[in-house]
Amino acid sequence: MPIDFAATKAQFHLPEGVIYLDGNSLGPMVRGVAARVEKAVTAEWGELLIRGWNRAGWMAQPRVLGDRIGRLIGAEPGSVVLGDTLSIKVYQALASALEMNPKRRVILSDTGNFPSDLYMAEGLCRTLGGQYRLKTVAPEEAMAAIDETVAVVMLTEVDYRTGRRHNMADITRRAHEMGAITVWDLAHSAGALPVNLSGVKADFGVGCTYKYLNSGPGGPAFIYVAPRHAEAARPALSGWLGHEAPFAFDLSYRPGQGVERMRVGTPPVLQMAALEAALDVWDGVDLGEVHAQSLRLQDQFIKGVEARAPMLQLATPRSHLMRGSQVSFRHPEGYAIMQALIAEGVIGDFRAPDILRFGFTPLYIDEDDVARAVSILARIMDYGTWDRPEFKQRAAVT
């Protein structure tokens, strides 16, 4: 059945007068979340106290919700678990992958990757005593740079800045031909486009839930370990909840079953309750259809902006095959322009040095929203209303 986008939109709380084009950074609140969190606070924590771990299913939640996310990313049942932040999950996946390819010393990534992923890799190389090296190349050169020296190919499928999308199937195949292991970051893929981790034979996958999956600020991250690696992958962050028997309180570590070993410590129960309710909007939703509709909205936006605000330069590839769910434009005054837009209720964001970023999330953004956003942007550019001191004052979060 085709998705009824008006019905999905009605499931989101969107503030009056706001056109929200930043679901790629922080998804909006799904209406059912407030009641679910309230229940977790009052009925579960409040009444059950410590008994909530068993009776309210808190302990099983990271795997139960992992399976629900698994469906959205083509993961086998039991291969995804939630917890911690994405940066931590990147570190874990990378450390395990390196250990599984012990003769090689190079981590290959690209210059479009999110800085935290690169920082985590640098930190891990240092911890491992400096024999390891992070090599970054331009995104379009990543495929060709995979050679017999590469231990791990660590890439983010969709570039957070430009929206450029890698070909995950081809890169994974090439990596395997060259004897490398893949770590795919799905931060801008999960909930945005169809991902088929098992189909492309990906080795590790990681991602966050507070972007397209709408779990709220600080929501837990997820990690995928291909079932064929699950018993070989050794967790670098060997916390008690990844132990085979946490409540045996053994003095030494034995990894838990499969992906459970990638759990570290106590899960964020309240955030997980929010995620649980947020995931309800995905029931019966086909990601192929979501992405196709996102591309239509993106095309509408690109066409409108190029016609009415030609001083903005498209930074996102035109090819549908190379796009995720966001469109970016460059302008030297991008920061001020974005602040002027936000002041008029069109919320996107800015990424240094000159990128204006707009996310197109069809579950709650429609053609009217896009048309209005284009008109407001065109007016701001025509009248130069961005050129005011208050729009040039940089806040901590851009």
Ligand X SMILES: *Cc1c(COP(=O)(O)O)cnc(C)c1O
Residues with catalytic function: 114, 185, 210-211, 357
63 makes contact with ligand X (CB under 6 A): no
Q: For residues 49 and 58, is the Cβ–Cβ distance under 8 A?
A: no
Q: For residues 270 and 58, is the Cβ–Cβ distance under 8 A?
A: no
Applying CB under 6 A, the span of 63-71, 113-121, 240-248, 259-267 interacting with ligand X comes to: 113-121
> Where in 312-341 is the site for ligand X (CB under 6 A)?
none
Out of 21, 187, 269, 277, the residue judged to bind ligand X by CB under 6 A: 187
| Rounded CA separation 201/378 (Å) | 44
224 makes contact with ligand X (CB under 6 A): no
Out of 208, 274, 278, 337, the residue judged to bind ligand X by CB under 6 A: 208
| Rounded CA separation 64/262 (Å) | 14
114 makes contact with ligand X (CB under 6 A): yes
Out of 22, 117, 349, 369, the residue judged to bind ligand X by CB under 6 A: 117
DSSP type of residue 53: H
Closest residue by Cα to residue 23 from 44, 7, 8, 35: 8
Which of residues 215 and 293 has its CB atom nearest to ligand X in the complex? Answer: 215
| Rounded CA separation 320/167 (Å) | 12
Which of residues 160 and 224 has its CB atom nearest to ligand X in the complex? Answer: 160
Out of 44, 110, 185, 260, the residue judged to bind ligand X by CB under 6 A: 185
358 makes contact with ligand X (CB under 6 A): no
Strands, E assignment, 234-354: 313-314, 326-330, 346-347, 349-351
87 makes contact with ligand X (CB under 6 A): yes
164 makes contact with ligand X (CB under 6 A): no
119 makes contact with ligand X (CB under 6 A): no
85 makes contact with ligand X (CB under 6 A): yes
86 makes contact with ligand X (CB under 6 A): yes
203 makes contact with ligand X (CB under 6 A): no
182 makes contact with ligand X (CB under 6 A): no
Closest residue by Cα to residue 128 from 158, 102, 163: 102
118 makes contact with ligand X (CB under 6 A): no
- Residue 163, burial from CB neighbour count under 10 angstroms (0-12, 13-18, 19+): buried
| Rounded CA separation 34/186 (Å) | 26
Out of 8, 61, 156, 316, the residue judged to bind ligand X by CB under 6 A: 156
Which residues lie across from 182 on neighbouring strands?
A: 153
Out of 36, 165, 188, 331, the residue judged to bind ligand X by CB under 6 A: 188
Query: Taking the complex as a whole, how short is the minimal distance between the CB of residue 47 and ligand X, in angstroms?
Result: 31
| Rounded CA separation 136/353 (Å) | 19
Query: Taking the complex as a whole, how short is the minimal distance between the CB of residue 102 and ligand X, in angstroms?
Result: 26
DSSP type of residue 323: B
Q: For residues 267 and 240, is the Cβ–Cβ distance under 8 A?
A: no
For residue 50 the two structure tokens come to 């410590």
Which of residues 92 and 298 has its CB atom nearest to ligand X in the complex? Answer: 92
For residue 13 the two structure tokens come to 């709380």
- Provide the binding-site residues for ligand X, judged by CB under 6 A: 85-87, 114, 116-117, 156, 160, 185, 187-188, 208, 221
